Amino acid sequence: MNPNIPNAESLYQELLRGVKSLLRQDTKLVGITSGGAWLVERLQKDLGLPGAPGIISSAMHRDDFARRGLAASAQTHLPFDVNGADILLLDDVLYTGRTIRAVLNELFDFGRPACVRLAVLVDRGDRQLPVAANFAAGQVELPSNQSLALDRDAQGGFALKIEQLEEGA
């Protein structure tokens, strides 16, 4: 375990507190596959919100689609009308901003929301696009040759993992 990486369960509790402060009467939670989807499923339950949360994929709008392709789990499901909705996007790690750009394009394919805000478990900084989270539970600095991702065990517990990136990835 890297001592510089915070405990994901502690960060989740902070995220829960932050999301509570961002909720409005009609806010719809939407998680970005896959880490954000895991977060939103647990948040929906822990917050006692009715219905199912939305899940959104960035796959079809990514600027690196030709290299990455379409993941089998990457399916958008929005069980509400996007038009006029107050949407709170959730993701595990905010880094370059490219996933958020792609997700916004995907979201607007479904309609025109009244408001879109962003909450993340971890903000890595070092943006390539002008994207900022309304709430970040924590901040982590890593070299650009490492990725940070949320992992989930069989019981639904969270952990953060670091992976070395292949050159050119």
Is residue 81 a part of any domain in this protein?
A: yes
Query: Domain range spanning residue 85?
Result: 8-61+74-164
- The 10s digit of each residue's pLDDT in 14-68 is 999 999 999 999 999 999 998 999 999 999 999 999 999 999 998 888 666 445 4
Instruction: Write down the pLDDT at residue 2.
Output: 61
Q: In this structure, which amino acid lies at residue 19?
A: V
Cα 47 to Cα 36, 40, 99: the distances in Å are 16, 10, 26
Do 139 and 131 form a contact (C-beta atoms < 8 A)?
no
129, two tokens: 């696009």
Nearest CA-CA partner of 55 in 106, 4, 115: 106
Count of structural domains, the chain: 1
- The 10s digit of each residue's pLDDT in 86-137 is 999 999 999 999 999 999 999 999 999 999 999 999 999 999 999 999 999 9
Kindly report the CATH number assigned to the domain that includes residue 117. Answer: 3.40.50.2020
Is residue 67 a part of any domain in this protein?
A: no
Instruction: Write down the pLDDT at residue 1.
Output: 53
pTM: 0.91
